Amino acid sequence: MNTLLKGKKIVLMGVVNKSSIAWGCALALKKCGAEVIFTYQNDRVKKQLDRLIDENDATVECDVAEDTNIQVAFEEIEKRFGNIDGVIHSIAFAPKEALEGELTDASRDSFKIAHEISSFSFVAVAREARKILNPGSSITTLTYIGSSRAVSNYNIMGLAKASLEASVRYLALDLAEQDIRVNAVSSGAIKTLASSGIKGFRELLDDAATRTPAGKQVTIEEVGNTVAFLMSDLSTGITGDLIYVDKGTHIS
């Protein structure tokens, strides 16, 4: 264990199982000595989370579909843990039928759901979190290159990720007055519960790996390490930015 994040309390949103990118973040945060507060979507997710975490790890329920849930969750966090030093938002959702075929097939409802859960929730989380974030804190979200390139079947999620990345820049501007940094990590394709919902994801995964300079896929641990760096005081010069952690897929 190193001491990079010793004394820092980090809220981690989005672990559902050991394939989750957020779980890669949890491993990195703990390796660096952070205190991790896990939020989970509902009781079903909590059961899965409980199998991964230690008995004394802190958990707080937070379904980001409602603003009041987010408000209540951060009030509970303040009550139980006081001020915090960072938030990691590793949450996305779109109805399965929106992640196949063509964008013109998309419904208004799936657009709304994808944007609310995958983009607006980040703004809503920042609004509540800033009330209890210490100066020098850091907020990070997870995004994907489908925001700036047309990736087959990603469709509505590509639009939501573009919106999420724009929100990173605006939030960085707003929260700078509190000395809070806001960034995004653009992960390469990784097989997870969420990504398995994208039609043809297996091919996308194989294609991504062949396009990396070393011909390898990125791991959740590698993504987690970069997120831990963004939570740390080593990254105080970075805000409003996007860091690719994809083994170089985006260069080709």
Q: Name the residues that contact ligand NAD, by CB under 6 A.
A: 14-16, 19-22, 41, 45, 63-65, 90-93, 117, 142-144, 187, 189-190, 192-195
Residue among 26, 30, 23 at smallest CA distance from 1: 30
By C-beta, is 41 or 137 nearer to ligand NAD? 41
Extended strands (E) in 116-168:
133-143
> Residue 90, CB half-sphere, CA atoms under 13 Å: how many?
31
By C-beta, is 41 or 239 nearer to ligand NAD? 41
By C-beta, is 39 or 138 nearer to ligand NAD? 39
Eight-state DSSP code of residue 197? G
Closest contact distance (angstroms) between CB of 235 and ligand NAD is 19
Closest contact distance (angstroms) between CB of 191 and ligand NAD is 7
By C-beta, is 123 or 136 nearer to ligand NAD? 123
31, 5 contact by CB (below 8 A)? no
94 known ligand binder: yes
> Residue 56, CB half-sphere, CA atoms under 13 Å: how many?
1
Eight-state DSSP code of residue 199? T
Closest contact distance (angstroms) between CB of 74 and ligand NAD is 13
Residue among 233, 220, 119 at smallest CA distance from 166: 119
> Residue 128, CB half-sphere, CA atoms under 13 Å: how many?
23
Closest contact distance (angstroms) between CB of 27 and ligand NAD is 13
Classify residue 19 by burial, with Cβ atoms within 10 Å: 0-12, 13-18, 19+: middle
- Rounded Cα–Cα distance for residues 88 and 107 (Å): 30
194 known ligand binder: yes
184, 141 contact by CB (below 8 A)? yes
For the question of residue 144 being annotated catalytic, the response is: yes
Place of tokens 């047309």: 150
- Rounded Cα–Cα distance for residues 95 and 250 (Å): 26
238 known ligand binder: no
Closest contact distance (angstroms) between CB of 125 and ligand NAD is 10
41 known ligand binder: yes
By C-beta, is 38 or 181 nearer to ligand NAD? 38
Residues with catalytic function: 144, 154
Residues making up the binding site for NAD(+):
14, 20-21, 41, 63-64, 91, 161, 190-194
Residues making up the binding site:
14, 20-21, 41, 63-64, 91, 94, 161, 190-194
Residues making up the binding site for substrate:
94
